[in-house]
Amino acid sequence: MPECEYLAVVCGELGAPDRLQLKQLPRQPLAPGTVRVSIKAAGINFPDLLTIQGLYQHRPQLPFVPGVEAAGLIAETGPGVETAVVGQRVIIRLRTGGYAEEAVVPWDQVIALPLGFSFEEGATFLVAHMTAYHALKTRASVAAGQTILVLGAAGGVGLAAVQVGKMLGARILAAASTEEKLRVATQMGADDTINYAKERLEEAVRRMTSGNGVDVVLDPVGIAQEAALRCVAHEGKLLIAGFAGGSIPAYAANRILLKGCSVIGIRAGEAGRRDPELRRQELDALCALGARGLLRPFVSASFPLHDFCDAMAMLANRQAVGRVALNVGRD
């Protein structure tokens, strides 16, 4: 392949993953303050599936390359970038562009890969763990001794929340639909598990909390809308972090009133765009915790770039446990 081109997954029309195409794109010039990163791995996220269908809050102009997080090596630096080192192992944050062999990004969107992380782990670290950290630490102010119920606990955000909640000293109740998924949640630190295919969620929570409910429910899937509020303790918190289940739930205002509970929307990315200092603080904290081995993504599957459709289908069909990555880079 000519040096002036690179391979990328391109969304030229909105629709399912099978409408995406693998294409050669012209290499972008480096503007001042940017770096070129040779991507080695990219993370697959549920918002990617929504974005290519035109169903996400962010609607990039067609055509675009999906992918909001990736990891690789700095290949080239633009004018005015003095601290970057060619060959440095990094994570890059994007709004689009991750499913590709390279990306040109502003230097302030580049983060050093935490010590001991593989490229796959780096490419699947920030989105899920930032959501979990922002939800539990920043928005819910979770304290040691509290009890957290994590729904969809074997998904990317779910497993990240199990780790973050445990790091904060909370008791973690992990809810998922299969025993295999619950085994992984236990390996990642969950104290108790609930198979909601076998037992009603609210009944299990009532049994495990002596009828009190939990201090915090984190819901990144939106499939237990009737049960979620029933699981919240008086003056507890329900954190809405996504709708990976495929539908947008509605919550009963009378139950919110009677419990005196709080329903809090979680958009870590938007919060960071509105408050760059908060984003910097949260990123610093996450990377430090990652380097200490306290937080780490669970990557259950990886695919070569040309199998992007299979990788996205695994996430869409809710077959993934933890994170799914694309292996990128020329042979």
Identify the three-state secondary structure at position 127. helix
Flag whether pLDDT at 233 surpasses 90: yes
In whole angstroms, what is the distance from residue 327 CA to residue 200 CA?
Answer: 39
CATH architecture of 127-269: 3-Layer(aba) Sandwich (3.40)
Q: What is the pLDDT of residue 227?
A: 87
Q: Look at the block and give the residue holding tokens 């984003």.
A: 279
What residue type is 299 in one-letter code? Answer: V
- Among 253, 161, 159, residue whose Cα is nearest residue 214: 161
pTM: 0.92
Q: What is the pLDDT of residues 86-134, one digit of tens each?
A: 999 999 999 999 999 999 999 999 999 999 999 999 999 999 999 999 9
> Which residues are CB-contacts of 293 (< 8 A; sequence separation ≥ 6)?
116
What would the mean pLDDT of 12-20 be, rounded to a whole number?
96
- Among 80, 60, 73, residue whose Cα is nearest residue 14: 60
CATH architecture of 5-125+297-327: Alpha-Beta Complex (3.90)
Q: What is the pLDDT of residues 157-171, one digit of tens each?
A: 999 999 999 999 999
In whole angstroms, what is the distance from residue 177 CA to residue 223 CA?
Answer: 11
Looking at per-residue pLDDT, the higher value among 225 and 61 belongs to: 61
Least confident of 64-68, 251-255, 317-321: 251-255
Across the strands, what pairs with 100?
Answer: 8
Share the mean pLDDT of the chain: 92
Please give the full DSSP string across 198-216, using - where no structure is assigned. TS-HHHHHHHHTTTS-EEE
Please check whether residue 219 is in contact with residue 238, taking contact to mean a CB–CB distance below 8 angstroms: yes
CB atoms < 10 A from the CB of 137, how many?
Answer: 17
126, HSE (Cβ side, Cα atoms, 13 Å): 31
Same CATH fold assignment for domains 5-125+297-327 and 127-269: no
> Which residues are CB-contacts of 191 (< 8 A; sequence separation ≥ 6)?
171, 172, 173
In whole angstroms, what is the distance from residue 101 CA to residue 7 CA?
Answer: 6
List helix spans (H) across the chain.
46-52, 119-123, 126-133, 156-167, 179-187, 201-208, 225-231, 253-259, 268-274, 276-291, 308-316
Flag whether pLDDT at 194 surpasses 70: yes
Give the sign of the dihedral formed by CA 128, CA 161, CA 73, CA 278: positive
What residue type is 306 in one-letter code? Answer: H
Structure tokens at 305: 């770039």
| Backbone φ and ψ of 57, nearest 5° | -60, -40
In whole angstroms, what is the distance from residue 331 CA to residue 326 CA?
Answer: 14
Residue ranges of the domains in the chain? Answer: 5-125+297-327, 127-269
Q: Look at the block and give the residue holding tokens 């009963």.
A: 252
Structure tokens at 68: 């909001």
The model's confidence at residue 2, banded by pLDDT at 50, 70 and 90, is very low
Please check whether residue 153 is in contact with residue 175, taking contact to mean a CB–CB distance below 8 angstroms: yes
